Chain A
């Protein structure tokens, strides 16, 4: 059935992750699964298990995880980093893995790509919307008497700087 893992594939990714996250310690994880036990995402997305992700990082088996797209399930509630007994902060590991995945060419979910595009082009991650009142009327900033929403200043310089980071995503 399943293919056996070859140790030739094992190559710890801890150093790469550490370079991104700062002072947390993914290499300390002893698989107590406390993070997963209380994980907001794990309760509703059973395939998402932060302790497994941290273990995979230590083993270097992260490609499967990146391929599966499961990283995007984290709700960034920061409970795991608050209560992990080993200062691992799985959420930071997950965030770092997302960064690495994007760099490696894995495309983030479309919704996020859309946000990035908007952030670069309009300064806001989403367009200005019409919303509904509880009387089912549609209203907007104008009709609600809110001031016109200006674009952030220096859009050109801002776009130039951001394009340096987001080249891959925008392709």
Chain B
């Protein structure tokens, strides 16, 4: 540091966000007295063009060689001000940001004096740190122009098609036998009531036919390696026991298989065979054998499918296979699961046969469902579902498990509209029935939702009760009784219904936690994937090149899911289209004179970026700057201080820490 350090400090008002709590002017006056501070100014919005211009001009005018911006979080505007500093002719890493909004004025609004003192303290620490900054360079790497999409629901389908059409190679991994996701299970879709399968199937076919899409069904992501722009993904293809290359999808095997199993697709109400397609319109149209139920694979008898297959595609000795793909970006579109309703003990799901979920009602109402579209009560004959009688009264209970501190805290964002739709199904199919909707609030905020709500409200046989039952009791005939207090009419109502439908809470799908950890992306308190910014970066994640699409980012209906998936595809496309990614500038670096070659750093580096080499007869550590991701673990471990991390050197951090610890005298 031969040159004199000349620092400019800029304090942002952020409108009233900062300026309404402390006085940036006073702060500027105070910090202008700090050593090396050549100029200190305040401005209403530093991130605005005139704000940035101020920095650029000052660099030239005052010959600044360090810039400190005290404003919002560096996670928000660091790139903005780095660019400004660069335009002013300085290396962007000579900028230091001080977070006085998120870390001070927003959280100490009611202690303005303390807040101001803290702000001055933070800036002082930044000044101390800034003295030790030095210019850094950023390396560029080429990206691989292909994308992995995980999850083949409507979100994954839409994102895959968008990217494929834009010319990117897409690998679509779906863990079930077929793509389609939850939307394939729905009968109709609110608020327009289009037939779900009818609008979905053409898109599924497009996926199958698009030359840029490689559909890898019945598979899951096993391992992820590499870095943004160049991920290496190992995919596990579960054993299918059918040679999909030979198979023509004729379905003879499915027809002949003697063994029936409750169908996941029909939510346990219908049946599928041990060799099966997920549902009749499945894509790809290639069956798999369920090894847990197949008679041959469990008991060594049968082999009927093998006998009837005209092309000899059955292969009982199938093993998992692994493929590796190399992609530049990843889109996560793994959707949701229903919350386990047996946990909501008071409603008796799992104990009372006529308490069902909304998704089960979708299957009962579907022409392709287990009752051929007849809505009936639930009967079991020797453990097997069979359609019961026509219900006279059906009760729908909203927020079942949602908005509940003991279960799922957030709103499912679907249940209200789904309940209205379900009321329509029943009212339409059974005009003589009574439909009771027990709601807390009807949240009808989407396009066309209020109109839909009106339409359902106007049905004479739909009754809205503003109240939630506490407990449901099963009667001897299988019908159900509960009391519910209607706070609209201030009356307790005793409801006896033949069928109770729970509009269930919706949660991240099984296995997402493990997938998320493989991807190194964060999650929100509900377990969904965490977007980078709740307003402005709704599809980005904390990892560059990994994006969220659809329900997995948080509850969404189909229109929102599709819009979100489109945005994810666009974000991935723009990431790849640029052609390169920049490496982190915060790389580790060794001072070979000090390094003792102890290799402690080697053991902590998560990316194997450090090796010990012999230089001039001395063992020293060497960092591979392509592999290094800039965590600083090595620097934190190195006993001699030989290993340092750019922008986070011991000197820089120590200077900051010491200043903060000393504090400022008011």
Please determine if A and B sit in direct contact within the complex, based on CB atoms under 8 angstroms apart: yes
Number of interface residues of A (CB under 8 A): 23
Query: Residue-by-residue, is B483-496 near A (CB-CB < 8 Å gives 1, otherwise 0)?
Result: 11111000010000
- Is A105 positioned at the interface, with any CB of B under 8 Å from its CB? no
Q: Which residues of B contact A (CB under 8 A)?
A: 346, 399, 403-407, 440-441, 466-471, 482-487, 492
Give the residue among B404, B484, B485, B492 with the most A Cβ atoms within 10 A: B485
> A28's closest neighbor in chain B, by CB?
B405
- Is A114 positioned at the interface, with any CB of B under 8 Å from its CB? no
Query: Residue-by-residue, is A83-94 near B (CB-CB < 8 Å gives 1, otherwise 0)?
Result: 101110000000
> A50's closest neighbor in chain B, by CB?
B485
Q: B485 is contacted by which of A25, A33, A83, A85 (Cβ under 8 Å)?
A: A33
- Is A60 positioned at the interface, with any CB of B under 8 Å from its CB? no
Q: A36 is contacted by which of B407, B471, B482, B485 (Cβ under 8 Å)?
A: B485
B405 touches A30 (CB 8 A): no
> B470's closest neighbor in chain A, by CB?
A38
A42 touches B406 (CB 8 A): no
Q: How far is the CA of A46 from the CA of B485 in the complex (A)?
A: 10
A37 touches B405 (CB 8 A): no
Query: Residue-by-residue, is A37-56 near B (CB-CB < 8 Å gives 1, otherwise 0)?
Result: 11100110010010100000
Which residues 71-108 of A sit at the B interface, judged by CB distance below 8 A?
79-80, 83, 85-87
B406 touches A87 (CB 8 A): yes
- Is A67 positioned at the interface, with any CB of B under 8 Å from its CB? no
Q: Hey, which chain A residues are within 8 Å of B486, CB to CB?
A: 33
Contact A33-B482, Cβ < 8 Å, known A38-B471, A42-B492:
no
B483 touches A43 (CB 8 A): yes
A34 touches B470 (CB 8 A): yes
Q: How far is the CA of A37 from the CA of B46 in the complex (A)?
A: 55
Q: How far, in Å, is B614 (CB) from chain A's closest CB?
A: 62
Number of A-B contacts (CB under 8 A): 67
B405 touches A51 (CB 8 A): no
Q: B440 is contacted by which of A28, A32, A38, A42 (Cβ under 8 Å)?
A: A32
- Is A62 positioned at the interface, with any CB of B under 8 Å from its CB? no
> B484's closest neighbor in chain A, by CB?
A37
- Is A118 positioned at the interface, with any CB of B under 8 Å from its CB? no
Q: Which residues of A contact B (CB under 8 A)?
A: 25, 28, 30-39, 42-43, 46, 49, 51, 79-80, 83, 85-87
B485 touches A37 (CB 8 A): yes
Q: Hey, which chain B residues are within 8 Å of A46, CB to CB?
A: 492
B403 touches A42 (CB 8 A): no
A34 touches B468 (CB 8 A): yes
Q: Hey, which chain A residues are within 8 Å of B469, CB to CB?
A: 34, 37-38
Q: Hey, which chain A residues are within 8 Å of B406, CB to CB?
A: 85, 87
Q: Hey, which chain B residues are within 8 Å of A38, CB to CB?
A: 346, 469-471, 483
Q: How far is the CA of A57 from the CA of B336 in the complex (A)?
A: 38
Q: Hey, which chain B residues are within 8 Å of A33, CB to CB?
A: 466-468, 484-487
Q: How far is the CA of A9 from the CA of B385 in the complex (A)?
A: 59
Q: How far is the CA of A38 from the CA of B493 in the complex (A)?
A: 11
Q: A32 is contacted by which of B399, B407, B483 (Cβ under 8 Å)?
A: B399
Q: How far is the CA of A49 from the CA of B482 in the complex (A)?
A: 17
Contact A86-B405, Cβ < 8 Å, known A33-B466, A33-B468:
yes
Contact A83-B403, Cβ < 8 Å, known A33-B485, A37-B485:
no
- Can you list 12 A-B contacts with CB-CB less than 8 angstroms, sorted by A residue number? A31-B487, A33-B467, A33-B486, A33-B487, A34-B470, A37-B470, A37-B482, A37-B483, A51-B485, A51-B487, A85-B468, A86-B404
A42 touches B346 (CB 8 A): no
Q: How far is the CA of A86 from the CA of B404 in the complex (A)?
A: 6
B492 touches A35 (CB 8 A): no
Q: How far is the CA of A87 from the CA of B405 in the complex (A)?
A: 6
A43 touches B468 (CB 8 A): no
Q: How far is the CA of A35 from the CA of B440 in the complex (A)?
A: 13
A43 touches B405 (CB 8 A): no
Q: How far, in Å, is B393 (CB) from chain A's closest CB?
A: 17
Q: Hey, which chain A residues are within 8 Å of B487, CB to CB?
A: 31, 33, 51
Q: How far, in Å, is A169 (CB) from chain B's closest CB?
A: 33
